[in-house]
Amino acid sequence: MHSLLLAEEDLDSTLRVVAEIAVRVVDGCNCAGVTVVENERVRSTACTDPLCAMIDADQYETGEGPCVDAIRTNEVMLLVDAAHDPRWPSFGPLAERHGISSVLGFPLEVPSGVLGALNLYGTTGDAFDDQDAAVGHLLAAHAAVVLANAKAYDEASSRAANLEKALESRGVIERAKGILMEREKCSAEEAFHMLVRASQALNRKLRSVAEDVVDDAEGPDHSNAAGSGLL
């Protein structure tokens, strides 16, 4: 399993490996998938069968079901008779109509919280036993690590991009200040306030105004900030 996970290239395909293994090793599991929480909304991924996506959608639409509650409560949820379970009166009959009688939902828990759920579906009643639950726990732990790593990578990439953008903005603003200091024979603070006033008057970002000043200083082919009479 570790070698398969390491061979995958993106989040969805890696999670699909987890779901496919669940179908292979859990006797009562006919299809499986993963629910991912993103910005307080849920989406299905890594479904091994279109039926899995349909059952997931029923849970999201009704707002109830084993996998939805696994995320809400951070507890494993077991459904053994979809048509008659009083905990999920709206979802159960829908699952039964699709031929699903049993569901196992595992929360994907990391220290920062629950990132989603691993969803196992069976076509027979009472399809899952304690051994299936133990295997599901292991698979859910792998899926949680995959999601946590993906989230950490995205956050790190976002921070790096924001830092790069901030450094670029600072660089062009400093260049514009230098140009104004030379042209207007003023201090760095005065040059900065000139840029701020122009930004407010034009209702444009400070970096955009600074870029105009730099472009103007580089030659007549660039946009002319001085032409506005504000700098």
Q: Residues 6, 75: one domain? A: yes
Strand order in the sheet with 102-110: 41-45, 31-38, 113-122, 102-110, 77-79
More confident residue, 221 or 12: 12
Mean pLDDT of the chain: 85
**Choice among 16-25, 146-155, 164-173, 190-199 with the minimum mean pLDDT:** 146-155
Residue 15's pLDDT band, with cuts at 50, 70 and 90, is confident
Same domain, 116 and 179: no
Same domain flag for 119 and 214: no
Q: What is the per-residue pLDDT for 6?
A: 52
CA gap 80, 104 in Å, rounded:
9
Q: What is the pLDDT of residues 43-71, one digit of tens each?
A: 888 899 999 999 999 999 999 999 999 99
Task: Mark whether 103 and 19 lie in a shared domain.
Answer: yes
Q: Which of 156, 186, 205 is the last residue of a domain?
A: 156
CA distance 108 to 18: 12
Residues 123 and 49 in one domain: yes
Is the model's pLDDT at 168 over the cut of 90? no
> Residues 72-127: pLDDT tens digits?
999 999 999 998 999 999 999 999 999 999 999 999 998 888 999 999 999 999 99
End-to-end CA distance of the chain: 64
pLDDT of 223: 44
| Percentage above 90 pLDDT, the chain | 45
- pLDDT for the residue numbered 45: 85
**Mean pLDDT in residue range 31-42:** 89
Do 120 and 223 belong to one domain? Answer: no
Q: Could you tell me what percent of the chain has a pLDDT over 70?
A: 87
Task: For residues 3-13, give the mean pLDDT.
Answer: 62
CATH of residue 221: 1.10.10.10
Whichever domain contains 64, its CATH number is: 3.30.450.40
150 lies in the same domain as 165: no
At residue 228, the pLDDT reads 45
| Burial class of residue 48 in the structure, from the number of CB atoms within 10 Å of its CB (0-12 exposed, 13-18 middle, 19+ buried) | buried
Nearest to 142 by CA among 16, 40, 9: 16
Residues 6+ apart with CB under 8 A from 113: none
- Indicate whether 140 and 217 sit together in one domain: no
Same domain, 131 and 192: no
> Is the domain of 148 the same as that of 178?
no
Q: How many domains does the chain have?
A: 2
Residues 25 and 112 in one domain: yes
Domain residues for the domain of 139 are: 2-156
Q: Which pLDDT belongs to residue 87?
A: 95
